[in-house]
Amino acid sequence: MILKISFYAIVLYLSVIVYCHLQYPELRWNWENISTDKILFPSTFIWGTATAAHQVEGNCVNNWSEFEKGSKDDGQPNIKDNQQSGIASDHWNRYPEDIKLIKELGVSHYRFSVEWSKIQPAQDTFNQDALDHYSRMIDMLLENNITPVLTLHHFTHPLWFDKLGAFEKEENISIFISFCEKVFHEYSHKVEYWCTINEPAVVATQGYFSGMFPPGKKDSQLSAEVLKNLLDAHVQVYHSLKKMENGPKVKIGLVKNINQFEPWRRWHILDWIISKAVNHFFNDSAIDYLRTGIFKIRIPGLAWIYHENPNATNSMDYFGLNYYSHNHLKFQLSLKEPFTMEFRDEDTMTDMPYTIYGEGLYRAIESVSALDVPIMITENGIADAEDSRRELYIKRYLYAVSKAIKDGYDVIGYFYWSLMDNFEWAFGDDMKFGLFSVDFETQERSLRDGSKAYIQIVKNEN
Ligand code: GCO
């Protein structure tokens, strides 16, 4: 009897593993046989580069600047080596110079975010100087034939909003909507592309699950609720702005980071279960919500949530896809840290804890195509202080985009992250994502050699 049960158990185990293995392959291309030297794009393709206010502007007083001063329970500083964003890349003052850099790249679009805490320093006060500042910057972009792409929320919010509980509370969504309406009222006649919220799943998981981002909490159920509220905020902002003057004319999208989570050991059921659960939380819950209007996360013992919002199914004119890499997860018996991230020796690392994996961008495009709206790659780029892998990264990831377009996916644009070196959140200034390096002592900007590959591809002459 025991033998029989063991036999069936083994057969069942093997069947599940074989099914998962075939159903969810980890795409790998043979790059030796692929020529990335001649990648051409449609002439209508949108080329851009991106930044976010807190990372480049300097002198922000918000939930992040507060977090930068603190440390974790174990005494470790919240930001690597206690770094603070400070004046960052001083983009607030140097934007005219930076617009010249954008021109030098030959791109036609610039994605940036407005800093909510500067525009609305108190709940009942809008700062006209800050509004005028962004207005001048938008005008200068337009004078230089660069189309502005404006992000309304990129990880930061004012401290007064934080004190109210930020996106932990559903009732705070209306406060965010009022801010968005104000900004839209000011600029919608001259800004064609709008991003509502940047990477809700990153805000929810890093802020409330891993504790790496503010508010540094570790509460998986709250993390799921914050994710639901952020997604609902996107849906409500979309519909509110669409009803305003210029609403029907402009394009409004959500920006979502897709990061595939794969089992480290493809024969190990627990690695499959943990990577499926993390994918379900981080990627699928949001995509399914936007597709069906139903938001659900069901991970026993971690997070359990069900929510319906029929307005979610038509809440995007385009999907903003951020893509950097994938992660391999290895299960471990610990409630505090149920998995570790692993890397293969043969993989090329970036300076961030992830590898170069161009195939992943193709897979991400494939997975979000289910939403049936145009896809804009709103962020993709490499942290590479030595500048030894930037060219390879650019060519591989853009090869993946060009292949996706050839295969019929509706990808309309690509924004390289980032225009210049900046404050990379919990990693501080050490991560060099810039096409232009920034010397933080002198604020001098210089084009990196590896970035020339991007300029060549944008020119469509590579
Ligand atoms: C994000 C943010 C950016 C980051 C970039 C590099 O994706 O986390 O949108 O602000 O700087 O992704 O990590």
pLDDT > 90: what percent of the chain? 91
Atom 4 (ligand 1): residue with closest C-alpha?
424
Structural tokens at position 367: 């997975």
In tens, the pLDDT along 316-337 reads: 999 999 999 999 999 999 877 8
Token match 């469509």: residue? Answer: 460
pLDDT of residue 462: 55
Single out the residue of 365, 433, 344 nearest to residue 394, CA to CA: 433
C-beta atoms surrounding 158 within 10 Å: 24
In tens, the pLDDT along 396-442 reads: 999 999 999 999 999 999 999 999 999 999 999 999 999 999 999 99
Cα-to-centroid distance, 50 and ligand 1 (Å)? 10
User: Which stretch of DSSP H or E encloses residue 421?
Assistant: none
Q: Are 48 and 149 in contact (CB under 8 A)?
A: yes
**Contacts of the segment 20-29: beta carbons below 8 A, 24+ positions apart:** 20/263, 20/266, 20/272, 21/266, 26/262, 26/266, 26/326, 27/359, 27/360, 27/362, 27/363, 28/359, 29/358, 29/359
pTM of the model: 0.97
Backbone region of residue 86 per phi and psi (left: phi > 0; alpha: psi in -120 to 50; beta: other values):
left
In tens, the pLDDT along 263-280 reads: 999 999 999 999 999 999
Q: For residue 418, say if its preceding peptide bond is cis, omega within 30 degrees of 0.
A: yes
Cα-to-centroid distance, 245 and ligand 1 (Å)? 31
Single out the residue of 180, 172, 169 nearest to residue 126, CA to CA: 180
Q: List all residues whose CB is within 6 A of at least one atom of ligand 1.
A: 52, 55, 198-199, 202, 257, 322, 379, 417, 424, 433
Provide the strand spans (E) within 280-427. 294-299, 303-308, 318-323, 327-331, 339-342, 375-379, 411-417
Structural tokens at position 259: 């990061």
Which whole-number Å values give the CA distances from 350 to 116, 329, 384, in the listed order? 31, 18, 6
In tens, the pLDDT along 70-96 reads: 999 889 999 999 999 999 999 999 999
Which whole-number Å values give the CA distances from 371 to 50, 151, 293, 410, in the listed order? 24, 21, 12, 11
Residues 215-224 have a mean pLDDT of 97
pLDDT of residue 184: 99
Among 151, 259, 322, which is best to mutate for testing ligand 1, by the most ligand atoms less than 8 A from CB?
322
Cα-to-centroid distance, 357 and ligand 1 (Å)? 17
Atom 11 (ligand 1): residue with closest C-alpha?
424
